[in-house]
Structure 1
Amino acid sequence: MTNLTRSVCLALTALAGTCAASSACAQGGGQDDGEAYLDASLSAEERAADLVSHMTLEEKAWQTGNAAPAIPRLDIPAYDWWNEGLHGVARAGFATVFPQAIGLAATWDRETIAEMGEIIRVEFRAKRLQALADGSASERYHGLTVWSPNINIFRDPRWGRGQETYGEDPYLTGEIAIAFIKSLQGDDPDHPWVNATAKHYAVHSGPESNRHREDIHPSPYDFEDTYLPAFRAAVVEGGVDAIMCAYNAVDGVPACASEELMQTILRDQWDFDGYVLSDCGGAANVYREDSLNYVDTGEEAVTLSFNAGMDLICGDFRNEWSMETEHIIAAVENDMLDEAVLDRSLERLFTARIRLGLFDEPDYDDDVPYADVTAEDNDTPEHRAKSVTVAEKSMVLLKNDGLLPIREAPDKIAVIGPNADSLDALIGNYYGTPSHPVTILDGVRKRFADSEITYVQGTGLIGPAETPVPDDVLCLDKACAKKGLKAEHFDNENLQGEPVSTGVESNAAFEWFSPERHTSVRWTGYLKAPESGEYRFRFSSQNGYRVFVDGKTVIDEWGVGDAPSIASGAISLEEGEIYPIRVEGFQRGLRGEQKLVWSRPSDATGPAVAAATDADLVIFVGGLTARVEGEEMRIETEGFAGGDRTAIGLPAPQQTLLKALHETGKPVVFVLMNGSAVAVNWADENIPAIIEAWYPGGQGGDAVANLIAGDFSPAGRLPVTFYRSVDQLPAFTDYSMEGRTYRYFDGEVLYPFGYGLSYSSFDYGKPKLSAKKIEGNGEVTVSVEVTNTGDMDSDEVAQLYVTHKGVSPAPIRALQGFKRIHLKKGESKTVSFTLKDRALSVVGEDGARFVPKGKVEIWVGGGQPVGRDGLPTPPGGKTTLRITSSTDLPD
């Protein structure tokens, strides 16, 4: 077979997943029976090394991309490494959707995270079996290499992807990551359930608009003190199988070409033995002119990256960037890249695939951990029930003036707000599809079944309330004699060629579930305006869309690809006039729903206020969704830019409505749904009860309703600081930690890191030390008795903070221990923590970590030892430990 024929074959197999029927592939020769890579008795490393030795250069180059094609002559199946599992199996149809990652961190509960991870790993295996049965196993989002968790530090609330993280603290992030990684992968390294991937390595947290060009120069202190600890924990303690290198550069060198990051630190210091993959497009960033442009050519870029330790390249489907295959071949042929370096990466990759059983599926040996999983083990009622439990544990009660819990169902409840009946507000980003979603409205209706429930949206997230355009204003003809719209359906995403079907439909709406769609639709007709004034139109969709009215482009959001949008456009219309309308949209994925929505000139606030006035209790559900905060998004509006935020207050339309509801004099419960801190200053001063619900997952409405009713006592704690304003923060682009997070911000905040209220109350005894002084290489046990002094059984989160008085540049205080415990009313339990080496260490300005000689102040309590007006200091106690000698710590 010629190189050209082989390249054509491999390109085809990348699309088709097999080339068994291809005559060109057949010419490559059959497999060599008896080869070592076929011997299952050998180790995965031995089999991988032998397998790579049988591959041609072209085959090797193709196998370094995320969409790796089949090589039939070697019995190598096609495989796409790209899969997501941030808070459940993502982007592959129905799955159990747990709370967004920031909500998982708010549980402060390692055991709950581990139990959730065990469910998610089962669903990945079940999904894999489904994919094998239906022939989709080689497609994206059907593999067992999971590109989660995101353990970047959420250093600034403006970052749109902060919702994907475990918050602002290195220790909390590392501990949640360890629990998640270990439970995902399981305890048999030779037969992992899945490969977890810690991302994005390193020093990565926005802005989204500049992520492909950002060159970050952290101080040695911040680098070691803030940006590396969670990754170290994921590798050294979590045993994570994979690392994803980031888009940005660190100290002038692209992260995906950094020998310091991938070899010196990751492999030499931390003994990482897994594989490293690029963020999607990250390898191209090394040389592209519109990105980091570190070198001039793709050949130079792949040579630097593979030499530095990167093993797998993810392309960027949004920008149609290649997998760099041709550059790899050229680099080797031109003696720039040693083929042995390429072999090293491939051996790592095939070792991982062999360990996952991808060469043995679906007939696994009985002794492998996942042998008993079936395709029916996905999205079960038991899994969804666990999602409710996790959501309940993630809820943070921010304020309660005695309104909650609602023990007796009110006669009338008004549920109002843009997130009250929103699926988007349940799932955040990087999500699966909940098969039985429960919105907040659904949950309230179920839990308060005897109450009369009225629902009014009242406002949109960042603009007027949007409702579906009704059928009766849409017409086929200019005279509006016939209702409906002409619909043209195409078998591609770009309305190309002749439509595959044409007909009359009542509205511009489309809903589908399975199989995978890559289609588009155009609706044309007329619209009769019911009133005069400004209208706003949008096509509610996960994909691209365009709306034209009266021959004018109202909104063009075509080509947004993977990023959802809520962008709308305005046009003024006259009552009774009939205008031509055209709506276009494309469909991508296994399931989706699209519909034409509008906001009308008449104010929607009036009906919301009327509903509140007539109610005994008002539940306002607002905040944000992943339609306005997220990854590299096309949204530019007041307070938001490209997925990030420019302001952190509650969006103005929601604030206006909330004030109007308060003025009715009726009690208001404010349910805040969001993935980042929102400065609800006015609400804190005026609304009697505020619940932080995050993006609580597919069953989140049940959890919120149960909390309101008092079926459990809330015990979630904030994993981020809620500031009062961005005016309290340094510039978003400043990666220095000075003045950021609870560890270095010394001003008054709205709600501090670690904060959360309960329906019960607790008392802490004085912390006791196993020794009052230790040497720098010693350890000490800290014990404290915690008592539930309230009238309700409840969880409590005991938090231990360490302060090195007089040591610079140490943080103000640092979390170094936490335990979530359950206490019946009147019950006491002793909680113990062990402190040693890293928990008692600080970092010098040179980045060296050591345990300093001197006094260490230790606080154990229900939060940080801080308060403010209207916010008392949590219960807890202090003690002091003396360290008698200084000790340097290894990297």
Structure 2
Amino acid sequence: MNNLGLASLTFWSPNVNVARDPRWGRIMETPEEDPYTVGRYAVTYVKGLQDVEGTTPGTNASEEDLNTRPLKVAACCKHYATYDIEAWQGVDRFHFDARVTERDMLETFVPPFEMCVRDGDVSSVMCSFNKVNGIPACADPKLLSQTIRGEWNLHGYIVSDCDSLEVMHLHQKFLNDTPEDTVAQTLRSGLDLDCGVYFTNFTNSAVAQGKVRGADIDKALNNLYMVLMRLGYFDGSPAYAGLGKSDVCSDSNIELAADAAREGIVLLKNSRSGLALNKHKHKNVVVVGPHANATIAMLRNYEGLSEYANVSYEPGCADIKCQNMTLFWPAVRAVKNADATILLMGINVSMEAEDRDRNDLLLPGYQNQFDQ
């Protein structure tokens, strides 16, 4: 994608937070509630993004100096640490203080990140908005320099979640510091890159006030430029310079994507043996629900059904929230005359997303009445 001008060489992904509550708004971004499974996912994900054949950790080519190991792209394991709340019943991620025991940190929240750095050799880690036991994650030297870089030996840089420093200064009012104090504290704690404007706007004045040393800046720049050099940012990457659209949209890649979709399909319940549909028996099919024509939410529609049957469409709900029953009864009448009914219910990012948690796991509004 970089060679087509559509992306950079750094991807702030994957999300490897442990999913402890299914109502979390970012639950779809991370794979599991089990720390070990999330960690193995992280390692595999990172290796797939980063590793150049013959230079993976543990091979002879990589054992000399991992700080110079070439990269395809730079991955980033996020959000470190104890980040699993967006906005829920008056509590938001900008003000949340995760009070976590040392045991829970070591057994639950930290392992995916440790595996990501130690086993995956990820080139970046992102610290989160929230506080951990009273200290903002991006300002805690124990979490950053002592653990990620010191104990785990990160070969790369540490970046803040976007606008974390502003949140720390204006919303959390950590130590009631000035912007310059915020820059100084995070730099000394091990932060190399600010996804925001505080490093840009206040580092010069922090140096002038004697709060930031040149050595602090040099250390951060060294970590950042080492990753850029490993990506071939300044001299090109010969192994990938000639790649284009045909390399992405190849027959083998398309088949791989299709195979992943086939293997990912799960039939949860077929207790009445309603499936599979028979095109000779089920000639008239009605498709009902707010996702029945989900061209935006699903980036696709369900016209494929019309190749096998006469398909009629009844939304049943005006939108995902499904708060009134105006469209409910026309859908009920259509169902009575159909050979088969396909219900396409659910939620979208207006109900569950970054900065938006759910209060429960029920289908919204009147959606749950369609199966009665």
TM-score with structure 1 setting the length = 0.38
Identity of aligned residues (%): 31
Determine the C-alpha separation between the residues in 2 that align with 1:247 and 1:424: 30
SS of 1:277 mapped into structure 2: strand
1:461 equivalent among 304, 311, 320: 320
Residue 222 of structure 1: which of 104, 109, 118 is its match? 104
Q: Aligned-pair RMSD on alpha carbons?
A: 2.1
- Match of 1:299, SS state, is helix
Partner deviation per Cα, 1:34-60 (whole Å, 9 max, x = no partner): xxxxxxxxxxxxxxxxxxxxxxxxxxx
Matched residue, 1:658: 371
Q: CA deviation at 1:610?
A: 2.1
Give 1:307 deviation, angstroms. Answer: 0.8
1:664-683 residue CA offsets vs partner (Å, 9 max, x unmatched): xxxxxxxxxxxxxxxxxxxx
Shift in Å, 1:407: 5.6
2:27 aligns to what SS in structure 1?
helix
Q: Report what 1:768 is aligned to.
A: none
Deviation per residue, 1:796-835 (Å, 9 max, x gap): xxxxxxxxxxxxxxxxxxxxxxxxxxxxxxxxxxxxxxxx
Structure 1 position 311, deviation (Å): 0.3
Contact 2:82 2:109 in 1 (8 A): yes
Aligned to 2:258: 388
Q: Gaps (5+ residues) in structure 1?
A: 1-126, 132-140, 316-321, 427-436, 466-601, 633-642, 660-891
Matched-pair contact (CA < 8 Å) for 1:262–1:309: yes
Pick the aligned partner of 2:303 from 442, 462, 466. 442
Q: Which has the higher contact order (CA 8 A, sep 6+)?
A: 2
- Where does residue 176 of structure 1 map in the other structure? 41
**CA spacing shift, 1:219–1:443, aligned 2, 3 Å:** farther
Deviation digits for residues 461-511 of structure 1, max 9, x if unmatched? 11258xxxxxxxxxxxxxxxxxxxxxxxxxxxxxxxxxxxxxxxxxxxxxx
SS in 2 for 1:280: coil
Aligned pair in 2 of structure 1 residues 464, 391: CA closer, same or farther (>3 Å)?
Answer: farther
Q: Does 1:250 align with 2:145?
A: no
CA contact (8 A) 2:286 2:341 kept: yes
- SS of the aligned residue for 1:399 comes to coil
Give, as a single letter, the amino acid of the residue that structure 2 aligns with 1:619: I
Identify the match of residue 349 of structure 1 among 224, 249, 252. Answer: 224
Q: State which of 264, 267, 287 in structure 1 corresponds to 2:149.
A: 267
2:38 paired with 1:157: no
Asked if residue 291 in structure 1 is aligned to residue 172 in structure 2, the reply is yes
Counterparts of 2:295 and 2:46, CA distance in 1 = 28
2:81 alignment counterpart: 202
- Give the C-alpha shift of residue 325 in structure 1: 2.0
Partner of 1:105: none
Matched ranges for 1:568-583 at <5 A: none
Match status 1:166 vs 2:31: yes
Aligned partner of residue 22 in structure 2, secondary structure: coil
> How many matched pairs?
352
| Pairwise CA distance, 1:227 | 0.4
What secondary structure sits across from 1:454 in the alignment?
Answer: strand
2:329 is aligned to 606
Q: What CA distance in whole angstroms lies between the structure 2 residues aligned with 1:647 and 1:375?
A: 43
Structure (1 or 2) with the larger CA radius of gyration: 1
Distance in 1 of aligned mates of 2:173 and 2:305: 50
Label 1:324 to 1:271 Cα distance change in 2 as closer, same or farther (>3 A): closer
Deviation at 1:420, TM superposition (A): 2.0
Cα distance in 2 between the residues matched to 1:282 and 1:453: 50
Q: Could you list the structure 1 runs, at least 4 aligned residues long, displaced by more than 6 angstroms after superposition.
A: none
Name the structure with the higher helix share: 2
Question: Is the aligned partner of 1:645 residue 2:358?
Answer: yes
Corresponding residue of 2:273: 403
1:129 pairs with 2:9: no
Please state whether the residue corresponding to 1:145 is helix, strand or coil.
coil
Q: Deviations over 1:251-297 (max 9, x none)?
A: 11111111011122212221112100000011222322x23433421
In the TM superposition, 1:490-639 aligns within 5 A as: 603-632=326-355
C-alpha distance in 1 between matches for 2:30 and 2:173: 25
Q: 1:309 aligns with which of 174, 185, 190?
A: 190
Matches within 5 A, 1:779-790: none
Q: Note if 1:412 corresponds to 2:284.
A: yes
Identify if the C-alpha distance between structure 1 residues 404 and 310 changes in structure 2 by more than 3 Å, giving closer, same or farther. Answer: farther
Residues of 1 paired with 2:251 and 2:313: CA distance?
A: 28
Which residues of structure 2 form unaligned runs of 5+?
56-67
Give the deviation of 1:618 after TM superposition. Answer: 1.0
Instruction: Note closer, same or farther for the CA distance 1:186–1:204 as it changes in structure 2 (3 Å cut).
Output: same
Measured in 1, the distance between the counterparts of 2:163 and 2:357 equals: 20
Matched, 1:377 2:247: yes
1:17 is aligned to none
Deviates more, 1:644-653 or 1:402-411: 402-411
Query: Which deviations, in whole Å up to 9, do the C-alpha atoms of 1:368-416 show, x marking residues without a partner?
Result: 3x24412443455654443332233233332221525416222122111
For residues 275 and 75 of structure 2, what CA distance do their matches in structure 1 show?
39
The letter of the residue matching 1:392 is: R
Equivalence map 1:101-140=2 (5 Å): 127-131=1-5
Q: How far does residue 424 in structure 1 lie from its aligned partner after superposition?
A: 4.1
Contact map agreement 1:153 1:169 (CA 8 A) in 2:
yes
> 1:438 is aligned with what amino acid?
R
Per the TM alignment, residue 216 of structure 1 is displaced from its structure 2 partner at its CA by: 1.3
Q: Is 1:237 aligned to residue 109 of structure 2?
A: no
How far off is 1:168 after superposition? 1.2
SS at match of 1:611: helix
**CA distance, structure 1, for counterparts of residue 225 and residue 334 of structure 2:** 61
Please name the residue that 2:72 is paired with: 193
Say which structure is richer in strand: 1
Report Cα offsets for 1:22-44 as digits up to 9, x if no partner: xxxxxxxxxxxxxxxxxxxxxxx
C-alpha separation in 2, matches of 1:292 and 1:397: 50
Q: Secondary structure at the match of 1:307?
A: helix
Residues in 1 aligned to 2:162 and 2:351: alpha-carbon distance in whole angstroms: 22
Per the TM alignment, residue 628 of structure 1 is displaced from its structure 2 partner at its CA by 1.5
Amino acid corresponding to residue 151 of structure 2 in structure 1: Q
Distance 1:416 1:217, change over 3 A: same
User: For the structure 1 residues 612 and 384, does the alpha-carbon distance in structure 2 shift closer, same or farther, using more than 3 Å as the test?
Assistant: farther
Q: Distance in 1 between matches of 2:75 and 2:316?
A: 42
Q: Secondary structure at the match of 1:194?
A: coil
Q: Is the 8 A contact 1:254 1:294 kept in 2?
A: no
Residue 183 of structure 1, CA deviation: 0.4
Deviations 1:330-389 (A, max 9, x none): 11122211111110110111111111122123xx43xx3x24412443455654443332
